[in-house]
Amino acid sequence: ELEKLGLGDDVDLHVYEVPVEYQTVQRLIPALWKKHSPQLVVHVGVSGMATTVTLEKCGHNVGYKGLDNCRFCPGSQCCVEGGPECIDSIIDMDAVSSRVSALGLDVTVTISKDAGRY
């Protein structure tokens, strides 16, 4: 929907649907960064179990034990070999949550410091 609405004439928006596959992500995401040199990247995950919009304060690199859609899991249980254990968002998620809540929409926003590992 955001792709249809856009973000204004001054914003070059690129939207990609990325399969839940470790090896595809490891190949595709760096290629997209190289191609677009973005100022901001927003990764959005969808869960059929979610009852709220969850804003993640950090993403983890280790502890992955679940199989992806290709029935693959890295033997090291690590997404990026040699990468940092955690990457913290520079976006103030508390402020984002407060602003969304202030809009009076029928949306519940929660904040997490422990993104899921899949």
For the chain, domain boundaries = 1-112
User: Which of 3, 21, 56, 85 is an active site residue?
Assistant: 56
pLDDT digits 0-9 by tens, 52-106:
899 999 989 999 999 999 999 999 999 888 889 999 999 999 999 999 999 989 8
Confidence category of residue 118, pLDDT binned at 50, 70, 90: low
Q: How far is CA 27 from CA 41, 42, 47, 103, in A?
A: 16, 18, 23, 38
d(CA 20, CA 67) in angstroms, rounded, equals 10
Whether this prediction's pTM lies above 0.85 is answered by no
Among 3.90.1150.10, 3.40.630.20, 3.40.50.10680, 3.20.20.140, what is the CATH number of 1-112? 3.40.630.20
Catalytic residue status for 56: yes
